[in-house]
């Protein structure tokens, strides 16, 4: 099953802290899906991924207003 992280109702920088902890347990090629309510995550998670070398496959707000990102892990 694809790893999934529920980071709803968390405010900056908690989504980054949770994603970072989650990614630490994954290996290259795995894809993590994250769901957030904090719109800032649309900027922060891609920025964090750029610094760490992970790839953001998708980042968008869905119909419920949640922000959903999929991240391809590179280590």
CB of 62 to other proteins, least distance (A): 14
Is-cis flag, bond preceding 13, omega within 30? Answer: yes
- Choosing from 22, 30, 37, 68, the residue that interacts with other proteins (CB under 8 A) is 37
14 binds other proteins (CB under 8 A): yes
Q: Write down how long the chain is.
A: 75
- Answer left, alpha or beta for residue 60, where phi above 0 means left and psi between -120 and 50 means alpha: beta
Q: Which residues lie near other proteins (CB under 8 A)?
A: 8-9, 11-14, 16-17, 20, 37-40, 42-44, 47-48, 50-52, 65
């Amino acid at each position: 099953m694809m790893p999934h992280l529920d980071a709803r109702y968390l405010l900056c920088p908690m989504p980054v802290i949770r994603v970072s902890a989650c990614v630490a347990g994954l290996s290259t090629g795995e894809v993590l899906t994250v769901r957030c309510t904090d719109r800032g995550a649309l900027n922060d998670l891609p920025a964090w991924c750029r610094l760490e070398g992970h790839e953001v496959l998708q980042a968008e707000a869905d119909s419920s207003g949640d922000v959903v990102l999929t991240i391809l892990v590179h280590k």
